[in-house]
Amino acid sequence: MQAKEIIKMEKITLIPNAPDFVEGVINLRGNIIPIIDLKKRFNLEETEGDKNTGIIIVKIEDVDMGIIIDSISKVVSISNSDIQPPPPMLSGIGQKYIKGVGKLEDKLLVVLDLEKLFTTDEEEEETASADS
């Protein structure tokens, strides 16, 4: 995954019959970008957007996608060697989306597996049944 840029919130065009966590799409300099709401993906309480709400544009498997963010204070890089596997006591639906826990200075950061996050449950079921 590669973070490309952070933009201000734009008008999102809805997509009929899309998964709940897909807010819709935006047109970013002629490119159609799907926009994902992680709060919906993780069944978290939704908040009203404000002037700090934005979209982080990421590239996953050669596809640009946007993730809605409440705010951002700074962008940091963390090396793979600084990421440890998630603790075994983590459970629930969110565990499969956690790549690991990283340490940056004196802070712990939960590192998400965005490739899995952007796979719908139906796609996961199809992949699992094809592997059987």
- Domain 2-69, what fold? OB fold (Dihydrolipoamide Acetyltransferase, E2P) (2.40.50)
Distance in angstroms (rounded) separating the CA atoms of residues 26 and 31: 8
Residue ranges of the chain that CATH labels 2.40.50.180: 2-69
* Cα 82–Cα 87–Cα 92 angle in degrees, nearest 5: 125
Q: What's the start-to-end Cα distance of the chain, in Å? A: 28
pTM of the model: 0.73
The confidence score (pLDDT) of residue 110 equals 83
pLDDT tens across the length of the chain (132 residues): 678 899 999 999 999 999 988 999 999 999 999 999 988 887 778 777 778 889 999 988 888 999 998 888 777 888 888 888 887 776 665 677 888 888 888 888 888 888 887 665 555 554 444 455
The confidence score (pLDDT) of residue 128 equals 46
